[in-house]
Structure 1
Amino acid sequence: MAKQSKYGTLYLIATPIDEQNPLETTALNLLKSAIEKREQSLFLIEDLKPCRRRWIRFGLEREIIEDFILFNEHTQVEIENDLISKIQSGKDAYLMSDGGLPAFCDPGQKLVKRCHELGIRVTCTPHSNSISLAVALSGIDCANFTFAGFPPRRPEERKEFLKKLAKVDMPKILMDTPYRLTRLLEESVEVFGERIGFVGMELNGEEEELKYGKLSKLLKEVSGLKKEFILIIK
C-alpha cells in the first residue's frame, strides 16, 4: 500500500550508545523542528529517567519531557493502536530508545511492522551501520538472524547458495551490487517462494526507499531499479 498523503511519518532517532556523546546534528535538528510543531508530534521513549537525562544533555527543551509517551514492552500492547491512529491522522512520531538504534531488537520492531503494513512511511536519522539500520527499518523480528553477505556471481553457485540459505530457520540478510537487485529478487522468489521480505534501498539517502511484503510483491516494485540495497528475507 502506498503511503497516504495525510499520514504522518515514524522517525527512528538513532542516539549515542553512551550518555556522554552529543546527538548527531540531523537528529538534533529534526527533534528541534518537532518541538516547534509539538501539537503534531509524538515523542516516544523507552524509559523516562535515562531519556530525560539524554534529552537535557542534548540541549532540548525541558518542557517537552512532560509530553513523553512511554513505549516499551510493558506499554506497547495498550497504546499501539492509539499511536497508529494518531499517525494516520497526520501526526509524526519520533521513537527513541535508552541508547542506540530503536526498533533493533526492541519493541519498536512491531510498531515499524504495523507501519509498513498500513502504508505509513518509516525512516531513520543517520546511522553508520547499514546492516543494523536495515534490520531496524525492516519491521522483521531479527532477534536472531544470519548475515549471508554477497551471493556468488556464477548462476549455478548462486542458486546452490540460496538453496542452502533457505534451510536456515531465521531471517536472512543479503547484499549485492545495484545492478543485481532485480536478479536477486527473481532468484529469491524462485527459491524462497512467498516469504515476507524487506528491501532497503539508498538507506539514509535522499532517494531512500523501503519496500516490505511478499517477495513477489517486492520483485514487481523494484524490477529494473539499480540502487544500493539490503535484502532481508524472513
Structure 2
Amino acid sequence: MSGTLYLCATPIGNLGDITLRVIELLKECDLIAAEDTRNTIKLLNHFGIKTPLISYHEHNKISKGPILIEKLKSGMNIALVTDAGMPGISDPGADLVKLCFEEGIRATAAPGASAAVTALVLSGMNTRRFVFEGFLPADRKERAKTLKSLAKEERTVIFYEAPHRLAETLGELIEAAGDRNAACVREITKKFEEVRKDRLSGLISYYKNNVPRGEFVLVLEGADAECLRREEIENFEKMTLEEHMELYTNKGLSEKEAMKQVAKDRGVSKRDIYSILKTEGK
C-alpha cells in the first residue's frame, strides 16, 4: 500500500504559530521534503524533531519529484514543507500533488499559517472577494499583460514581492491601474511587523526615502466597477454609431443583434439606437 503525502504548513515568522498536528506529523512521517533543508533544520531543531530531510524545490523538482513518488509507492509517508506558510502556494508543492493524483497516491493537508490571507485581513481592504496573484511574472511581456488585466480587476488583489523590487512594482501598478488604495504588509508575525496603508502614490513616496526591508505582501484595492463602466461608455461614445454597429456586424452579428449589443455598450435602450440610426439614415 502506498504512503501518504502530507502538505504541512509551517510558521511564516513566529515559531509559535505551528500547529500541534504539524509537529506530530513531522515527527511521525518517514521523510520530510523541504524547499530549503538549511532553513527547515532550524525549525526541526527547535521542536526536537529528528526525521530525515530531503530537498525538493523549483530547481530540482523534475528529478526529485519521481524519486519522492517512488518512495511514496513503497509505503513511506512524506511531509512536504516550504520555507514558510502553506506548501503548494507559489512553490513546486503543487507539482508534487499533481504527480500524486496521477499515480493514485493519497495527498492531504495539515493547514496553518498563510502570508497571503494574513496580510489580507491585516490590510483593511475588502475581504469578501479577492484574488491571489503571487509573484508577478519576471518576463516583461507577461508582466505587462498581467498588469494590464489587473487594471479592470474589481476584486482585492494580493501579491508577493521581494524588497528590492517593491518600488518598481508599485510604480508599475500605479501606471497600469491608477492611484488606488494599497497596503504593504511586511515581516508578518515577526518583531518588526508593519502594515503601511496609503494610496499607491503615497507608498511610492514613502519607499523612496525608506529602504524596504523584509518580506512583503502587497494588497491592492480592486477597481471601482462604476468608474470602469463610465470609462467603458465614454470609450464607446468616441465612436460614431455606424462605426459601433460595424464593430459587431463585421463579427457576424445580425443588424438586430448588433443594435442590442451597441445599446448595452452605451447604456441606453435598443429603441434609442434604432431611432438615432433611422434619423441619421434619412
* Higher alpha-carbon Rg: 2
| Larger RCO (CA under 8 A, 6+ residues apart) | 1
- TM-score range with shorter-chain normalisation? 0.3 to 0.5
Give the TM-score of the pair, scaled to structure 1.
0.46
Higher helix share: 2
